[in-house]
Structure 1
Amino acid sequence: MIIPALVQEIAKGNYICCKTPINLQGYVLGNPITHVDFEINFRIPFAHGMSLISDELYESMRIICKGEYVSVDPRNTKCLKLVEEYDKCTKKLNYEHILKPPCEKINTQEISPDCEYYIYYLIDCWANDESVREALHVNKGTKGKWQRCNWTIPYNHDIISSVPYHMNNSLRGYRSLIYSGDHDVKLPFQATQDWIKSLNYPIIHDWRPWMIKNQISGYTRTYSNKMTFATIKASLRVST
């Protein structure tokens, strides 16, 4: 969520006189959180599209809940019951990859290679390897143990939506690639597509497959603001 704001700050800094500008060309984001409450509502149409809930349940939720499945009016008891039914159908799923069984988020050597979080363990080992740090020109002693998610940083959580930052970066002419794993119910690709469409930029290259060695690896679309959206077929949630 903070990357678009960070890009904007770098861009502003590049206009300050007498400073060496950062060679900023654009940014890449995978399954980016943009507006949390808004995006979670897309889990229901995603679940329906993936046949995780029935047509009847989806239609009832759509009509009775009126698109709001998170902050449900407590007086709307019918909607609350439908949300319970949805939870019963999906609570045992791996929300980050519906084709895989759930696994615990642990960063130890005991983590199973079959768990998708194993890659985070490998990244941790790689980033803290001295030869890697030397290759990346990290000066010795300037950085302690690298952490993928450092929750101790005292952020001010004051960005409700990052869409305005995406808009500002587009107006400055920066390229962006926004991609989504298409089997991630935690942050569905429909939610990402929806905020991209809200920018109201014309489509330059319409929906089409992208290939690796003659196999479809996902689908993509390009907009006039130099923003490209892509899906990664049968992929999990991978944030960049």
Structure 2
Amino acid sequence: MWLAMKPFLHFLVFLFVGFKSADPQSIVENLPGYDGTLPFKLETGYIGVGENDEVQLFYYFVESENDPARDPLLIWLSGGPGCSALTGFFYETGPLGFDFEKFDGSLPSLVLNPYSWTKVANIIFLDYPVGAGFSYSKSTRGYSSSDTSSTQHNYTFLRKWLLAHPEFIMNRLYVSGDSYGGKIVPMLALEIAKGNEAGLEPIISLKGYTVGNPVTNEDEDINERIPYAHRLALISDKQFERARISCKGEYVNPDPNNVECLFALYIINQCTKFVNHYQILNLICKEIQTLPEGGSRIFLPSLVDDPIGFLSLSSQNEPPCHEHTYLASNVWANDETVREALHIREGTVPDWTRCNKSLSYEYDIKSVVEYHQNLSDRGFQALVYSGDHDISVPYIATLKWIRKLNVSMYDEWRAWTVDGQVAGYTELYKSKIKEAYLMFATVKGGGHTAPEYKPRECLEMMRRWLSLFPL
């Protein structure tokens, strides 16, 4: 029956909504830095979205290394906004990584990631919004984007991609991402759900979504950083109580006339300004250049990914900084042989950066809590996980909005283990409307992008969740 449907599905590519066919896909068998033929199927390409397809979104698609026909399909949304899909591909959930020990500033060597999520799923890594990674616009006007417009672009992209890949239309789909991508994930998932309800083709087999250390409501996420710092012994009981009482528990945009509150926040900042907000156990890198915009080390920075985006090197007498590893991606993605292998269109992105800080981007959705509620009410499954050593979006901020949803506790706080060792803690919530579950999990020792710090544990977490096993 499935084979009989294929000609009809191919016909849909030309029939619906005036869609133009996606660019011919390019299969990439070899990549500079990797010795030999890639042991997995990698496809790259562009798909046009927006008015007259002026926005060209670039993607990397990796087929599951297990059973592509039956395994679920994930679309991965990196954070930022403006961080390239290569962030997820190389540093988090993708099949390759850099050989950092041998990296000397020249073209880095690539190594296989034994904990890639492609062990259990097909994954589309999408460069979004326009201006991120290798995605570009044919016009200057097209570079303006926002939460809502990029969500619509992502939805159009996914529909076109599936029409061009009809063999994956029936695969279970999960929208996935972390950090600021965790804000766009529920927006895209709800857009897909509404499109299905309206009968828009193709009907997408959306089953749920996953978000890690997700931006949800910027002000409320940031507000929990001080209580989190107190829990982690970064500030004293006295300092916390002074701030809590004088600021009345509101630490974001304090009253400029409230001198006692401002002083309490200043003292806290003095204690925490040299703590790495993305993994509190990691070092702060010495910088060669000045910090880019948004890279201040104050305790309440804006929720922007990659604040350490400058080139920085530690001396030979100092331990290496985690952020130094990001330099390898800049060297690799700007190499001409790499661009040729990836089939990047010449002249479209002169200088690739891992996280583009110069986007013309409007943050037009303040909170996505209602999106999570709408998805729960519609019966979609959710996995929400948090690296528990992240201050930027602390796990207590995530738990706070989860407990505001119309859900009931189904399984109370307990440890989950990998190979007999505690990997984190978990709670399970059940929707009061539909037979849907939201699983929350901490990843012990994980930072802001948990798979980057705890890859083995995160793969096992995802494997169990996709298989409907408890953690």
TM-score by shorter chain over 0.5? yes
The equivalent of 1:228 in structure 2 is 439
How much does 1:90 deviate? Answer: 0.4
Identity among equivalent positions (%) equals: 43
Q: Are 2:225 and 2:394, in contact at CA under 8 Å, matched by a contact in 1?
A: yes
Instruction: Give the count of matched residue pairs.
Output: 234
SS at match of 1:117: helix
* Inter-partner Cα distance in structure 1 for 2:194 and 2:217: 23
Q: Which entry has the higher C-alpha Rg, 1 or 2?
A: 2
Query: Which structure has greater strand proportion?
Result: 2
CA 1:148–1:14: 2 relative to 1, 3 Å: farther
Shift of 1:200: 3.5
User: Which residues of structure 1 form unaligned runs of 5+?
Assistant: none
Alignment map for 1:76-225 (pairs within 5 Å): 76-103=258-285, 105-106=308-309, 114-117=320-323, 120=326, 140=343, 149-150=355-356, 154-225=360-431
Q: Secondary structure at the match of 2:322?
A: coil
RMSD between superposed Cα atoms in Å = 2.9
TM-score normalised to structure 2 length: 0.45
> What is the one-letter code of the residue matched to 1:12?
K
Deviations 1:46-94 (A, max 9, x none): 1111111111111111111111112111121111101000001001111
1:197–1:51 Cα change, 3 Å: same
Report the alpha carbon displacement of residue 18 of structure 1 after superposing the two structures with TM.
6.0
Corresponding residue of 1:69: 251
Matched, 1:238 2:420: no
Secondary structure of 1:169's aligned partner: helix
CA contact (8 A) 2:211 2:385 kept: yes
Structure-2 change in CA distance of 1:178 and 1:218 (3 Å): same
TM-score, length basis structure 1: 0.84
The reply on whether 1:41 has 2:252 as its aligned counterpart is no
Q: Which is further off, 187-196 or 144-153?
A: 144-153
Task: Provide the rounded CA distance (Å) in 1 between the counterparts of 2:331 and 2:420.
Answer: 34
Please name the residue that 2:234 is paired with: 52
User: What secondary structure, in the 3-state scheme, does the structure 2 residue paired with 1:224 have?
Assistant: strand
State how far apart, in whole Å, the 1-side matches of 2:246 and 2:310 are. 42
Question: What CA distance in whole angstroms lies between the structure 1 residues aligned with 2:205 and 2:345?
Answer: 23
Relative distance call for 1:59 and 1:153 in structure 2 (3 A) is closer
TM-aligned CA deviation for residue 156 of structure 1: 3.5
State the shift of 1:115 in Å: 3.1
Q: 1:141 to 1:73 in 2, by over 3 A?
A: closer
Q: 2:185 & 2:441 partners in 1: Cα distance?
A: 18
Secondary structure of 1:198's aligned partner: coil
Matched position secondary structure for 2:407: coil
Aligned-pair distance for 1:17?
2.8
